[in-house]
């Protein structure tokens, strides 16, 4: 004979056991299986209700009500645990995939033009804007292009072993970019305007001289080109490259391939603007008629000017670099200052 108290006990036990089991379950899948074990069609609560027939009509509603209460309690415990599991699951996913935005990023160092390239490009741009062609020539030259066609007498000291690197085959490493003048005039007819940047070599080395350095040659040939054109062009260059109030001085000089020749100095001033010294920045002059003859131009019809500047010297003056070797060591601490 089933007593109503037994059924009550069964229901209360199911409630307690069920709630405990739900709380101890760690996966939503198992939790659902547990829910079925208690609340499913063949679950423990339904099984108790099947025994209801043995009770009296007065007892039945009491048990029915208790069974509903137990079922509700179990359902609530189930929902509660399910919500807990879901939130900890998404929390876990968050911590697993977490990106710590306070950590330093992966740095890509930004590149920079080498100060010599930067100086070269800046000067090229200036002349390009004035319609100049940008030309190049070989670094290994014959004596003819480096000296003879440029009107160097056979006994000129610049041909001496002291200054010039000779190759075994009797060629020279060009000592200046002036041979590009000859190559260019051999292949072009006047009027012409060109600059020619490139490496040059001299047997010389100290903090302001390097056995290899770079120059930019300039050449303009036309009818009626005068020294005024040369002066105006170089002053434009210096004022643009350094500063509009840079003071320049044209000092008479000598080069075999220009006549007259000059060297251009820029003034060094103190804080009150007084000139305290001069720095030589380039060589220039009017193209020597002997050079026009060497390339087959008529010196009676054409005149021209030429100049040659050291890129290192321009860069050293502009950026306050004291030692020329810094350009070639490629120490990143020096180069990154030009970003
Ligand atoms: N070639 C000369 C030098 O290297 C510079 C120069 C070029 C001078 C053109 C006059 C004209 O010193």
Same domain flag for 57 and 122:
no
Q: Is 178 in the pocket of ligand 1 (CB under 6 A)?
A: yes
Q: What is the DSSP string of 97-128?
A: T---TTS-----PPP---HHHHHHHHHHHHHH
Average pLDDT over residues 210-222: 97
Q: E strands within the chain?
A: 133-134, 140-141, 172-173, 192-201, 212-222, 248-255, 258-269, 275-287, 303-310
Q: Both 281 and 150 in a single domain? A: yes
Do 87 and 164 lie in a common domain?
no
Ligand 1 centroid, distance to 178 Cα (angstroms) = 6
Distance 326 CA to ligand 1 centre (A): 24
Spacing, Cα 98 to ligand 1 middle (Å): 65
Query: Residue 95: pLDDT band by 50, 70, 90 thresholds?
Result: confident
69 lies in the same domain as 122? no
Residues 215 and 130 in one domain: yes
- Ligand 1, atom nearest to 308 Cα: 7
Find out whether the beta carbon of 302 lies less than 6 Å from any atom of ligand 1.
no
At residue 1, the pLDDT reads 63
Q: Taking CA 115 as the corner, what is the angle to CA 122 and CA 329, rounded to the nearest 5 degrees? A: 155
> Residue 88 belongs to what domain range?
4-96
- With a 6 Å cutoff on the Cβ, whether 218 touches ligand 1 is no
pLDDT tens for each residue of 129-169:
999 999 999 999 999 999 999 999 888 877 776 689 999 99
Cα 280 to ligand 1 centroid, rounded to whole Å: 12
311 shares its domain with 260: yes
305 lines ligand 1 (CB under 6 A): no
Which among 170, 168, 166 has a CA at the least distance from the CA of 201? 166
Are the beta carbons of 221 and 142 closer than 8 angstroms? no
Residue after which a domain boundary falls, among 96, 126, 157: 96
What's residue 161's pLDDT?
65
Cβ proximity of 248 and 266 under 8 Å:
yes
């Amino acid at each position: 004979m089933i007593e109503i108290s037994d059924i009550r006990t069964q229901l209360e036990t199911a409630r307690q056991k069920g709630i405990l089991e739900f709380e101890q379950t760690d996966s939503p899948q198992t939790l659902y299986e547990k829910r079925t074990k208690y609340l499913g069609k063949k679950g423990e609560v339904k099984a108790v209700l099947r025994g209801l027939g043995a009770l009296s009509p007065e007892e039945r509603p009491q048990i029915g009500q208790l069974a509903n209460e137990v079922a509700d309690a179990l359902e609530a415990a189930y929902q509660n645990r399910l919500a807990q599991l879901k939130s900890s699951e998404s929390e876990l996913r968050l911590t697993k995939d977490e990106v710590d935005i306070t950590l330093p990023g992966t740095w890509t160092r930004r590149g920079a033009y080498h100060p010599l390239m930067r100086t070269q490009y800046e000067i090229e741009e200036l002349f390009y804007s004035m319609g100049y062609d940008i030309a190049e020539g070989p670094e290994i030259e014959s004596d003819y292009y480096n000296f003879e066609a440029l009107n160097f007498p056979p006994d000129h000291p610049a041909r001496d072993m002291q200054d010039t690197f000779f190759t075994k085959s009797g060629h020279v490493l060009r000592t200046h970019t002036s041979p590009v003048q000859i190559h260019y005039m051999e292949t072009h007819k006047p009027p012409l305007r060109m600059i020619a940047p490139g490496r040059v070599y001299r047997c010389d080395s100290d903090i302001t001289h390097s056995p290899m350095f770079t120059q930019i040659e300039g050449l303009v040939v036309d009818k009626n080109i005068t020294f005024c054109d040369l002066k105006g062009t170089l002053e434009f260059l210096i004022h643009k490259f350094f500063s509009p109030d840079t003071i320049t001085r044209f000092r008479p000089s000598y080069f075999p391939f220009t006549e007259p020749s000059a060297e251009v100095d820029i003034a060094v001033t103190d804080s009150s603007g007084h000139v305290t010294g001069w720095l030589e920045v380039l060589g220039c002059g009017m193209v020597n008629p002997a050079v026009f003859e060497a390339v087959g131009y008529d010196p009676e019809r054409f005149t021209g000017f030429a100049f040659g500047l050291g890129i290192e010297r321009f860069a050293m003056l502009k950026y306050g670099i004291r030692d020329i070797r810094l350009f070639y060591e490629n120490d990143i601490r020096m180069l990154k200052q030009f970003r």
